[in-house]
Structure 1
Amino acid sequence: MAEHDADREPQPIDEDAAWAAIVAGYGEEPSDPPGAKPFKSVEDLALLEGDRNDTPPPPAPAAPEPPEPKPLGSSVVFAPGVGGPRDFSVAEPSDSDLDDTDEGHFIPPEPPPLPETDVTAKFAWLAVIGGPLLMLLAAVLQWEFTWWLTTLGVGGFIGGFATLVARMTQDDEDGDDPGRGAVV
């Protein structure tokens, strides 16, 4: 059992011999692992094929006659039926282009004006937007964050948000009607 323990102990490595082996093998291609097919480069394959076939390669076919030179720009070909490059400009329709089947262009109606808000809603929006802007301005200008500045910024935002949520209208016209389900 003592012999087995001695085999498992790490043996000291001769670093000088290891470096000498690395330096001696520098630039040499390592041998292929057992069972691997040896790599053959294109040059090696050409040499092997040349050894098997001693006949000269067939002559290259004669080059065709060059075509007559074309005038400059004659190589541009457009799709059939198209006389030239496409015009991408927008054509304005005239009244003569429209007939009885055309409905004309759709012109949307003027949107209704926004509903007038009351003073409470205006101050709530001012607090929701103004509170964080005040805190941002104080941070950019490096003001000291005193208790009143923090209370005004954070409290204004929370108070304005709570006011807007509390004043939201419920569009539930049929609040007591339980029959809003599917009808069979």
Structure 2
Amino acid sequence: MSRDDDQTWAELIDSFHASPAPSSGGDGDQPWPAAEELGPDERLEEPRPDDFRDASVTLGSLTGRGAAPSDGAAEGGVGAGIDDATADEAANHFVPPPPAPLPRGDRIQQVAWAGVIAPPIALIIVAIMSWRPSDEIVFFAVVAFVAGFVTLVARMRGHHPNDPDDGAVI
């Protein structure tokens, strides 16, 4: 490093350890709030539940975009702090219909899925239990997996030329 780099580095370290300069306002205050001025043994106070007793602070955003609270809010009843517009909005909230049931498939598809799922699970369990399956069982598991996979791929719906549904066309 050159002499200028060493001098710049030393100035940087000195400015790091120096106290902050007073703010440009001329009054000598720190540029941060006084609440952040804590000594080494001081801690910030946690808010107490009594600090939030003012209803204008806790329910102010629930009274409905500047509208006056409804009569229920004055009485402290259910729905306190909710005006008619908010209640109408809640009543007209979209509720999606229940989803369609999953397709069950035919017997061939069910057996193909069983061939794809069951052999790997069985071989993992056998490996965890430290059993040594016979070669015929391993061969049967591999053949069942491959046959199930090929069956599922072969039975996939493909694009038919006379199919009117082309999906999303841009």
TM-score bracket, normalised by the shorter chain, equals 0.3 to 0.5
**TM-score, with normalisation over the residues of structure 1?**
0.42
More relative contact order, 1 or 2 (CA 8 Å, 6+ apart) = 1
In our comparison, the structure showing a higher alpha carbon Rg is 1
**TM-score, with normalisation over the residues of structure 2?**
0.45
